[in-house]
């Protein structure tokens, strides 16, 4: 079966999931005791950033594989091509957050507060005034949107070239593939720098006084592992439905290796950031971890257990990367774990701004721990992601039949 | 090694696909293959030879764990009991500072332990002379070898000939 049909049952199920997401978002909106609904807005931002990032990492990885002349993934590359198209939805979601800054719907970002750059104002903050060349609504909304539009363009370009290759390739002296290679190579430096800028704007600037140079890599690694985990889950599901008969355990083995390797890469970055800040012990840097260890210990240590200890110990063996049972288990845990990681990046800063720096002293559902509403919101966004993914996947053939690497991919053996 | 004076019947092939089909033919003729020598790893050869997955990595895990414990417990003892000092205002038991060294020692123990184990298991090491069946197996020849005591040498030679071996020899090592 080389053409995916989106069954109406699954469609209804996913629409139900989206409905659940809306319901949970609405409930968080109305049940929020603090000014400007920080719980609602931080949930919205958290999930928008997380799923947009997964989509971006799929685009990035397609470009990496093309540039590296990789052939193993060709048999299922339509999955990543479909993942990458979610960027368009991501742009809309991030624009809602961006417009919220102008319209004063939320106070997620302290740098957007009124009078922060005005020396006459009592809100004046010299540090943020110094950063205001970058941390300002214009950068966030206008330049941010332009950057995401560039990503969308490349995601669209790489996919449409791949689809055109299906139709006109084979006898074209690889002209489609050559063209793809140029676009992919061009995309890599662009995504390298622009993703960092967007991570600074979207996530790091929540803790607006704090900064870390490693942060962008760390966030990107988190996205990447989540993307691979979601790929494994989706592929196992599609295989169980009878699609992708050509995808063998060897392909899953490689995906498992990527999940394993990048979990360790993520830990490496996490630890490098932590240790440098711990060692230097500069007050304005240390406060970031101090807050998280003191007030968010479950999230802080849970993060390491879910995203490092667990995948490290389970995926270390050869056979656990080849069995669906262990792969599904680890993928679910790691996917949830990286969502949890973003939760921990976003929530403390939001709460800090919402309570005007007083923070909190005890466990608060929705901030120091994800509550049921957060889980429901995540499932809603996941349903939206999968809905878009399956819709796009069902439009075109699952097999890139004229890709020069297809034969290599079909014979992939590790 | 203990099995000195083995008499070996072997064929040299020019191509790995010929070798693979020869191994299949030997399997279906129930001829016990002594060993196969190739200049590079060949996909699909291991399952045909019925080779088990190496257990070397289990050893690697144990050596690694040993390294982790040596480094971590060693530093813990040194910096809290044996010679406690204050560096940069950090506590004596400064776990984050121990992690890089723990990591390094884990890697060091695992790698050296595995190399040494590999050498011992395979009887390799300084001063050991290992007989080579034919020097060209390190270059461009693919060798399929039978032990003349385990299989009928005539039958083995016939099989090698019929599967297209470029050269057939016997040798006592």
B117 within some domain:
yes
So what's the pLDDT on residue A261? 96
**Do B17 and B41 fall within a single domain?**
yes
The whole-angstrom separation of Cα B161 and Cα B144 is: 12
Residue with tokens 């040194």: B78
Contact at CB, A279 and B88, closer than 8 angstroms:
yes
CATH number at residue B21: 3.30.70
Residue pair B141/B36 in contact (Cβ under 8 Å)? The answer is no
Q: B148 by DSSP, 3-state: which?
A: coil
So what's the pLDDT on residue B75? 95
B17 within some domain:
yes
- Is the predicted pLDDT of residue B1 greater than 50, yes or no? no
Q: What is the mean pLDDT of chain B?
A: 90
Residue pair B106/B64 in contact (Cβ under 8 Å)? The answer is yes
Contact at CB, A275 and B97, closer than 8 angstroms:
yes
B89 interaction partners in chain A (CB closer than 8 Å): 281
B6 to chain A, closest Cα gap in Å = 34
**Do B110 and B65 fall within a single domain?**
yes
Q: Which stretches of chain A score pLDDT less than 50?
A: none
Sheet holding B142-147, edge to edge: B35-37, B142-147, B7-13, B167-172
B157 to chain A, closest Cα gap in Å = 32
**Do B19 and B35 fall within a single domain?**
yes
B167 to chain A, closest Cα gap in Å = 31
Distance from the Cα of residue A83 to its chain's centroid? 11
A413 interaction partners in chain B (CB closer than 8 Å): 43-44
Asked if the C-beta of B89 comes within 8 angstroms of chain A's C-beta atoms, the answer is yes
Q: Which two tokens stand for residue A412?
A: 């992939």
For B169, the enclosing helix (H) or strand (E) is: strand B167-172
B34 within some domain:
yes
- Is the predicted pLDDT of residue B3 greater than 60, yes or no? no
The total number of structural domains that make up chain B:
2
Query: Which residues, at least 6 apart from B139, have a Cβ–Cβ distance to it below 8 Å?
Result: B39
The whole-angstrom separation of Cα B165 and Cα B144 is: 9
B1 within some domain:
no
So what's the pLDDT on residue B2? 45
The whole-angstrom separation of Cα B63 and Cα B98 is: 19
Complex ipTM above 0.95? no
For B8, the enclosing helix (H) or strand (E) is: strand B7-13
Least Cα distance to A307 among A246, A364, A264, A357 occurs for A264
Nearest Cβ partner of A278 from B44, B53, B96? Answer: B96
The whole-angstrom separation of Cα A238 and Cα A246 is: 12
DSSP assignment letter at A365: B
Between residues 248 and 277 of chain A, which touch chain B (CB distance below 8 Å)? 271, 274-275
Contact at CB, B96 and A275, closer than 8 angstroms:
yes
Residues B43-85 have pLDDT tens digits of: 888 888 988 888 899 999 999 999 999 999 999 999 999 999 8
Count chain A–chain B contacts defined by CB atoms under 8 A.
19
So what's the pLDDT on residue B133? 86
**Do B25 and B37 fall within a single domain?**
yes
Most B CBs within 10 Å, among A278, A283, A289, A315, to test the B interface: A278
The whole-angstrom separation of Cα B18 and Cα B12 is: 10
Residues A279-296 have pLDDT tens digits of: 998 988 999 999 899 889
Domain boundary among B102, B121, B140: B121
- Is the predicted pLDDT of residue B107 greater than 60, yes or no? yes
B88 interaction partners in chain A (CB closer than 8 Å): 279, 281
Asked if the C-beta of B97 comes within 8 angstroms of chain A's C-beta atoms, the answer is yes
Contact at CB, B88 and A281, closer than 8 angstroms:
yes
**Do B102 and B74 fall within a single domain?**
yes
| B152: containing domain | 7-53+130-172
B94 within some domain:
yes
**Do B65 and B91 fall within a single domain?**
yes
Q: Scanning every residue of chain A, which has its alpha carbon at the shortest distance from the alpha carbon of B90? A: A279
Most A CBs within 10 Å, among B96, B98, B101, B103, to test the A interface: B96
B24 within some domain:
yes
B47 interaction partners in chain A (CB closer than 8 Å): none
Nearest Cβ partner of A274 from B53, B96, B100? Answer: B96
So what's the pLDDT on residue A360? 61
Between residues 277 and 296 of chain A, which touch chain B (CB distance below 8 Å)? 278-279, 281
Least Cα distance to B9 among B107, B117, B144 occurs for B144
**Do B40 and B76 fall within a single domain?**
no
């Amino acid at each position: 079966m080389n053409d995916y049909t989106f069954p109406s049952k699954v469609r209804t199920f996913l629409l139900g999931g989206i409905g659940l997401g809306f319901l949970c978002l609405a409930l968080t909106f109305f049940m929020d005791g603090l000014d400007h609904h920080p719980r609602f807005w931080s949930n919205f931002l958290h999930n928008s950033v997380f799923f947009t990032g997964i989509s971006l990492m799929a685009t990035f990885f397609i470009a990496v594989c093309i540039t590296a002349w990789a052939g193993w993934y060709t048999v299922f590359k339509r999955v990543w091509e479909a993942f990458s198209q979610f960027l368009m939805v991501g742009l809309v979601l991030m624009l809602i957050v961006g417009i919220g800054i102008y319209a004063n719907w939320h106070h997620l970002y302290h740098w957007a507060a009124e009078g922060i750059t005005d020396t006459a104002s009592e809100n004046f903050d010299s540090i943020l005034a110094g950063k205001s060349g970058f941390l300002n609504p214009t950068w966030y909304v206008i330049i941010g949107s332009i950057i995401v539009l560039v990503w969308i363009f490349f995601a669209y370009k790489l996919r449409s070239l791949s689809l055109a290759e299906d139709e006109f390739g084979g006898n074209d002296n690889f002209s489609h593939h050559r063209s793809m290679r140029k676009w992919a190579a061009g995309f890599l430096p662009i995504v390298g720098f622009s993703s960092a800028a967007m991570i600074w704007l979207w996530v790091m600037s929540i803790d607006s006084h704090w900064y870390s140079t490693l942060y962008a890599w760390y966030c990107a690694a988190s996205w990447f592992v989540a993307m691979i985990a979601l790929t494994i889950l989706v592929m196992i599901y599609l295989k169980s439905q009878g699609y992708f008969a050509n995808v063998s355990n060897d392909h899953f083995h490689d995906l498992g290796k990527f999940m394993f390797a990048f979990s360790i890469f993520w830990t490496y970055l996490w630890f490098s950031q932590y240790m440098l800040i711990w060692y230097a012990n500069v007050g304005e840097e240390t406060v970031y971890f101090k807050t998280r260890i003191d007030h968010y210990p479950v999230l802080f240590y849970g993060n390491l257990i879910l995203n490092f200890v667990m995948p490290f110990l389970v995926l270390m063996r050869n056979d656990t990367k080849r069995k669906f049972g262990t792969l599904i288990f680890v993928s679910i845990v790691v996917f949830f774990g990286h969502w949890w990681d973003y939760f921990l990046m976003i929530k403390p800063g939001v709460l800090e701004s919402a309570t005007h720096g007083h923070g909190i002293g005890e466990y608060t559902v929705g901030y120091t721990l994800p509550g049921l509403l957060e889980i429901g919101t995540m499932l809603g966004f996941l349903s939206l992601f999968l809905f878009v993914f399956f819709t796009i996947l069902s439009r075109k053939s699952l097999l890139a039949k004229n890709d020069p690497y297809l034969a290599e991919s079909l014979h992939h053996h590790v | 090694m203990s099995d000195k004076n083995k008499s070996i019947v072997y064929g040299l092939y020019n191509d790995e696909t010929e070798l693979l089909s020869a191994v299949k033919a030997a399997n279906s003729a129930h001829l016990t293959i002594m060993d196969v020598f190739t200049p590079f790893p060949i996909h699909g050869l291991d399952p045909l030879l019925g080779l088990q997955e190496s257990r070397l990595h289990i050893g690697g895990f144990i050596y690694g764990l040993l390294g982790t414990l040596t480094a971590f417990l060693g530093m813990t003892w040194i910096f809290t009991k044996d010679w406690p000092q204050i560096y940069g205002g950090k506590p004596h038991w400064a776990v984050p500072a121990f992690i890089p060294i723990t990591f390094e020692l884990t890697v060091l123990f695992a790698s050296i332990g595995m190399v040494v184990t590999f050498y011992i298991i395979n009887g390799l090491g300084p001063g050991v002379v290992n007989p080579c069946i034919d020097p060209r197996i390190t270059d461009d020849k693919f060798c399929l070898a039978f032990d003349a005591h385990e299989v009928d040498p005539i039958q083995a030679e016939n099989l090698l000939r019929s599967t297209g071996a470029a050269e057939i020899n016997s040798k006592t090592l």
